[in-house]
Amino acid sequence: MKHVKKSQVKSAIVELDGDEMTRVLWAMVKEQLLFPFLDMDLDYYDLHVKHRDETGDQVTVDAARAVERHGVGVKCATITPNAARVEEYKLKKEWKSPNGTIRGILDGTVFRTPILVKNISPSVRNWTRPITIGRHAYGDLYKNSEIRVDGPGRAEIVFTPDRGAPVRKLIENFQGPGIVQGIHNTDASILSFARACFTYGLDQKMDVWFATKDTVSKTYDTRFKEIFEQEYEQNWKEKFRSLGLNYFYTLIDDAVARIMRSEGGMLWACKNYDGDVMSDMLASAFGSLALMTSVLVSPRRCFMYEAAHGTVQRHYYKYLEGEKTSTNPMALIFAWSSALKKRGELDGSPDVIRFGEALEDASRKTIEAGIMTGDLVKLVAPDEHRRQVDSEAFLAAIKTRLESKLMTS
């Protein structure tokens, strides 16, 4: 048998290990699909919930700083502790969501992209290319202040500057019971969001779409529109044009209608609420949460890749009982392949980029040959061949394809 020469990954990749079923799959992916083919230096951080607890969550902070230092990280899914988890793992407290902590340190925006395979068609027939959503993860509805109004009275919005006179505006003269809500955003956060979107769009060579309701919200939403426009004109337009790419702004309802009719392929920058709602719609229309990848892009040009799904707790309990589960490792594999491609690009290592592409291709082709995990079986068209396998057999099938690809290339 011909020997497959290992590729050398020049700089370190930061590895953030995680919890439950994804931790089990994570180790298998490395053992089966990475270590046999790559020499790499991993800066390892164990974000297992117990280890976060033991370190007072310092390990999460250290991991985020390492991603910032090295530029590329790859993260396994992690438990965000709630009361039940505190009990289950005997934790000192309900530690904050690791993703929230990391996002806070890297000041990043999360982009989600579906993995497309030929035998699973999106519910929207004309979507032949993936649609990526970038969700602004600060402010608006998610950091609001609300009042339930019991009866007649005057609701006002007041801003009291550190220096100068307060500004007030009438919201409503209530004649009876009702509700009031105050929301905000900051120029700094919107600008950082815009930069992350243009950075990622350029990086992935995708048009960037952005939409708000500026015709109705003439101050609030208009500010989002202005900041995006200014940032694009000043810092991105030439770079986008030189690659034949575009920035497209429209109203949110028009954007939704156009997205439904499009063939996909764009980065859709969404305000916080729009992104919350639309990313769930896209994930389900494209097939499965296990085929959704996610990347945190920091405006300081560092990237952390992960799966969009959680730790798949239900499967883990079965696994602990000794059952072989058919949990889908695709999004975890693509987190690694994307991190490797980015590392290869930053290091100028074309063979590492080619390895990342070969791994993705072998994974897709395995599903396209009808070999897949249980979650996908029901999504394949009725006349297509399919065979459900457990996670190990699925990874083994990918490995066989990967080996033969690397030997012939």
**Binding positions for ligand NAP, rule: CB under 6 A:** 77-80, 99, 289-290, 306, 309-314, 327-328, 375
Binding partner selected for residue 309 from ligand NAP, Mg ion, none, CB under the kind-specific 5 to 8 Å limit: ligand NAP
State the nearest-atom distance from the C-beta of 277 to Mg ion, in Å: 6
CA pair distance 300, 55, nearest whole angstrom: 27
Q: How far is CA 160 from the centre of its chain?
A: 37
Q: Given the structure tokens 């090295």, which residue do they identify?
A: 70
Q: Sort 374 into a burial class: Cβ within 10 Å, 0-12 / 13-18 / 19+.
A: middle
R_g over Cα of the chain: 23
CB of 183 to Mg ion, least distance (A): 18
| Residue 325 interface partner, choices ligand NAP, Mg ion, none, CB cut-off 5-8 Å depending on type | none
Q: Mask: binding to Mg ion, 229-268, rule CB under 5 A, as x and -?
A: ----------------------------------------
From ligand NAP, Mg ion, none, which one binds at residue 115 (CB under 5 to 8 Å depending on kind)?
A: none
Closer residue to ligand NAP (CB): 96 or 223: 96
Length of the chain: 409
Burial (CB < 10 A; 0-12, 13-18, 19+), residue 11, is middle
As a 3-state breakdown, the chain gives helix, strand, coil percent values, each rounded to 5, of 45, 20, 35
- List, in sequence order, every residue forming a beta bridge with 75; answer none if it has no partner: 16, 306
**Phi and psi torsions of 383, nearest 5°:** -85, 0
Quote the tokens at residue 79: 């438990």
Choice between 311 and 349, CB closer to ligand NAP: 311
Give me the DSSP letters along 309-338.
S---HHHHHHHHTTPPP----HHHHHHHHH
Q: How far apart are CB 329 and ligand NAP at their closest, in Å?
A: 7
- Which of the choices Mg ion, ligand NAP, none does residue 79 contact, using the CB cut-off of 5 to 8 A by kind? ligand NAP
The site partner of 280 among Mg ion, ligand NAP, none (C-beta below 5 to 8 Å per kind) is Mg ion
Span from 107-115, 200-208, 270-278, 320-328 in contact with Mg ion (CB under 5 A): 270-278
Among 254, 280, 323, 384, binds Mg ion (CB under 5 A): 280
- Minimum distance, C-beta of residue 280 to Mg ion, in the bound complex (Å): 5
Partner whose binding site includes residue 270, from Mg ion, ligand NAP, none (CB under 5 to 8 Å by kind): none
Binding site for Mg ion (CB under 5 A): 276, 280
